[in-house]
Homo-oligomer: A and B are copies of this chain.
Amino acid sequence: MATKSEKGKKFIYLFGGAKSQGSADMKNLLGGKGANLAEMGKLGIPVPAGFTITTEMCAVYYKMNRNYPKALYGQIKEGIKHIEKTMGAVFGDNNNPLLVSVRSGARISMPGMMDTVLNLGLNDETVRGLAEQSGNERFAWDAYRRFVQMYGDVVLDLKPQTKTDIDPFEEIMDEVKKKKGIKLDVDLDVHDLKELVWKFKAAIKEKKGMDFPEDPWKQLWGAIEAVFGSWMGDRAIKYRTINKVPHDWGTAVNVQAMVFGNMGNDSGTGVAFTRNPSTGEHKFYGEYLINAQGEDVVAGIRTPQPVNVSTKTSAEQKTLEEVMPQAYKTLEAIYKKLEKHYRDMQDIEFTIQKGKLWMLQTRNGKRTAAAALKIACDMVDEKLIDYKTAVLRIGPEQVDQLLHPMFDPKAKKEVIAKGLPASPGAATGQAVFHADDAEAWQGEGKKVILVRIETSPEDIGGMNVAEGILTARGGMTSHAAVVARGMGKCCVAGCGALNINYKEKKFEVSGVTIKEGDWISINGSTGEVMNGKVPTIKPTLSGDFSKIMVWADKIRRLRVRTNADTPNDAKVAREFGAEGIGLCRTEHMFFEGDRIKAVREMILADDTAGRKKALAKLLPMQKGDFVGIFEAMKGLPVTIRLLDPPLHEFVPHEKPQQEEMAKEMGVSLEKIHHKINLLHEFNPMLGHRGCRLGIIYPEITEMQAQAIIEAACEFKKKGITVKPEIMIPLVGDVKELQDQVDIVRKVAADTMKKYGVKIDYMVGTMIEIPRAALTADKIAEVAEFFSCGTNDLTQMTLGLSRDDAGKFLPAYIEKGIYKNDPFQVLDAEGVGQLVEMAVNKGRKARKDIKVGICGEHGGDPESVEFCHKVGLNYVSCSPYRVPIARLAAAQAVIKEKTKKEYSTK
């Protein structure tokens, strides 16, 4: 039943001719296609007349249990009348028949997901009218044949029942062609086409038990129903779930007069971009086919020709500019008008019917990252847009493309598996299976891809020299992924299909065996694993990039820091614009060279004295680390996190390494086993780590504090100011923090006294345990800063181990239970609630407390926007994501100000 409010409601909007009732800003109601058709009509651009049934109608249709309110019938009649009047043809008229297309059109494009019916209005009578009118009987019957086939498929649901079935219409086509001994559709003559129409109809009758509807009105209602129905089709639902499109948006339906590009050599059809979508070059760029329909362009049987002379690549090409100069001129005027009007690069579709140009579509064009930068900057120069709009025009994720090598898009590739796109970029190398081998091979000048079931901190050396890293286990935030992103190195993680055999140094996947030394290529932006060498190209950063970044920096409020553990990382990040280090993990420093020996000596020690002795050996090395990092950061703030991982990460877990360790340390293998057993944990994530280490072994905290303050003192003595921010990890209760702060402050005071200088240092904490957020007011009484460790906070808030979630996370996302991988995009509703709580409670207790975020989310645009909204002071991310964060932070400000939806298309 229609409600009262629906009775007087306007469900259709006319476009074309004198009337255009919609406009471009009515996308929500008319869908993208409908809104832009109306807008073009308004601008006086020739569009075939038509009307759009609103997305609201789609909602009503489902609310009314797939029925329509009465009002719709009258409105559609009026809509058809409008088309008839404008186009000078009559729907269902035998002599001068109006044919229409019926197309879906949602708010956003859902390519291939929704249904379309063309040439609607044809029947055994009107086909004759069309033949006469066009003077081309074959054209008319071909149109009819296509219509019956399309209608049978889309509306009457005569489709292959399983994937292996042949399409019933194609089956008939094949029979007829076989009988005639022809291969191509174009070789079918009028007689054949008539036979096909007859046979198609018979098949419908036989298989669907119904006559093909001859009445154009019946045809029209059937097609409308099919389009609305396709919104709730399985494919569409799945697409929306994956692409996070709300199911209640609904689709609009566009009913539009047909125009034909295949009415002879004075007809044609084409697509074009108002600027080059690959490079951004300010040049009109398009392709067309003479005497053809849109389908033909797609079919790829004939080669499309360039639209204009300036984009010709060979003399033989016949441009529209040359072949139909008048139509081209009109097109040129229109594209300029459209670009100026939309203030953005347009992707347009046009058809020329007997010399007359019709526009069928315009929309903002998709573009590469480089093109996006160039177009945005050019348009600012052209005064088409201001710099804030330019900043909004760049997809933060696109920036990523610019910073990493990529595969040559023209190269051939044999994809053998797909994992998680863990760290972007492209890499080609010879497969090796052990970190040592990677180092050895690289030493011989070879390029390698390190293939591991999973990586561990012991593999750092091999990871560092590899072109890329491929793992079978672990998620987007596994060790391999995190370290690779930190290094800006390509990584495909969690590629579960790989059957890796360390012993035989090989892996098998999809029936292919890759042995050590075989070439493979991996794409860290898509997760693809390819057999053989695929050539890569290295993008260069243009001046446009710097321009956009300067503008972004002018706009943003959030500071952007980096997560960096080495002087080199720090240097890279600073070059990318990092304003400090938000997270310097000290544990990675514990693995290098001889240090691991001292660390293991500490772990094996039976008492405090033994641990102190071992730690004393680490002190100068650790101090050296900080000297290097302070140097690289040149006075910018550096947040150093004290030792975080459980101690068992520092001992070998395989027998040969344990034996070696025993030998090196001069202790029995039994003692090592015993110690390793003691260190074993059921859930190391929730185990003896973070500040719990420093509380039980205060001497570790002492050593680290001393190393930091000594390094700072030495700089100070040289007249250089450094700003260490000492961060206590895994605090859940203010008393844990107080315990560690007391130690740090005492060591700092003693050290400063020894050096005779005063260092301006801070002591703060991670907010990474839910309880820390819940009691942030108390913690802020002691902490001078907060850094939200949203990796761990996500794990604990969601009860989700990032290393194990791979087993069900993909299904969760597919089922729409999670919108995103919560380790990539901050879960604003849950984890975000705690982050906000930490900010608010923290500031209540300590007004000026500095709050940042240092989880992987710090480099994710959506999460950066969240951080801006809840008022964090900074985000910290891996070096290669710093520009992304800078851009996202600026966009957050603009979006907040305009409070309008935007999309980077």
Interface residues of chain A, those whose CB is within 8 Å of chain B, are 681-688, 690, 692, 695-696, 730, 732-733, 735-736, 739, 768-771, 774-775, 792, 795-801, 803-805, 807-808, 811-812, 815-818, 827, 829-831, 833-834
Cβ of B801 and Cβ of A683 under 8 Å apart?
yes
Contact yes or no, B771 A801, CB < 8 A:
no
CB pair A797–B817 under 8 Å, yes or no, is no
A739-B797 Cα distance, complex, nearest whole Å: 20
Q: Could you tell me the distance in whole angstroms from the C-beta of A686 to the nearest C-beta in chain B?
A: 4
Tell me whether A730 and B799 are in contact (CB under 8 A).
Answer: yes
**A688 & B807 in contact (Cβ 8 Å cutoff):** yes
Q: Quick check: A733 and B683 within 8 Å, CB to CB? A: no
Whether the pair B808, A695 counts as a contact (CB closer than 8 A) is yes
Give 10 CB contacts A-B under 8 Å: A681-B804, A682-B685, A682-B803, A683-B804, A685-B686, A686-B795, A732-B798, A770-B796, A775-B829, A796-B796
A248 CB to closest chain B CB (Å) equals 16
Specify the chain B residue showing the minimal Cβ separation from A771.
B830
Q: Would B687 and A801 count as touching, CB distance under 8 A? A: yes
A685-B799, A774-B834, A792-B799 given; name 8 further pairs at CB < 8 Å. Answer: A681-B804, A695-B812, A735-B817, A736-B817, A739-B815, A769-B797, A770-B799, A770-B834
Given the known inter-chain contacts A683-B684, A688-B808, A739-B817, please indicate yes or no for A771 contacting B799, CB distance below 8 A. Answer: yes
Chain B residues with Cβ below 8 Å from A692 are 808
Q: Which residue of B lies closest to A686 (CB)?
A: B801
Q: Which of B799, B816, B833 is within 8 Å of A735, CB to CB?
A: B816
With contacts A769-B798, A796-B799, A798-B769 taken as known, whether A804 is within 8 angstroms of B736 at the C-beta atoms is no
Do A686 and B817 have beta carbons less than 8 Å apart? no
Task: Find out whether the CB atom of A683 lies under 8 angstroms from the CB atom of B803.
Answer: yes
Question: Are B695 and A811 in contact, with the CB atoms below 8 A?
Answer: yes
* Identity of the chain B residue whose Cβ is nearest the Cβ of A499 in the assembled complex: B674
The interface residues of chain B lying within 8 Å CB-to-CB of A684 are 682-683, 801, 804
Give Cα distance in the complex from A733 to B808, angstroms: 14
Give the residues in chain B near A807, CB-CB below 8 Å.
687-688, 696
Q: For residue A62, give the distance in angstroms from its CB to the closest CB of chain B.
A: 19
Closest-CB distance, A505 to chain B (whole angstroms): 18
Is the beta-carbon distance between A771 and B797 smaller than 8 angstroms? yes
Measured between alpha carbons, how far is A805 from B730 in the docked complex, in Å?
14
Q: How far is B695's CA from A858's CA once the two chains are assembled, in angstroms? A: 30
Tell me if B797 and A774 are in contact (CB < 8 A): yes
Contact B774 A686 (CB under 8 A): no
Is there an interface contact between B798 and A771, defined as CB atoms closer than 8 Å?
Answer: yes
The answer on a CB contact under 8 Å between B688 and A799 is no
Q: Given A685-B686, A830-B771, do A732 and B800 touch, yes or no (CB 8 Å)? A: yes
Contact between chains at A817 and B695 (CB < 8 Å):
yes
Chain B residues in 8 Å Cβ range of A801: 681-687
| Residue contact B695 to A804, C-beta cutoff 8 Å | no
Docked pose: A373 CA to B341 CA in angstroms = 89
Most buried by B among A684, A695, A775, A800: A800
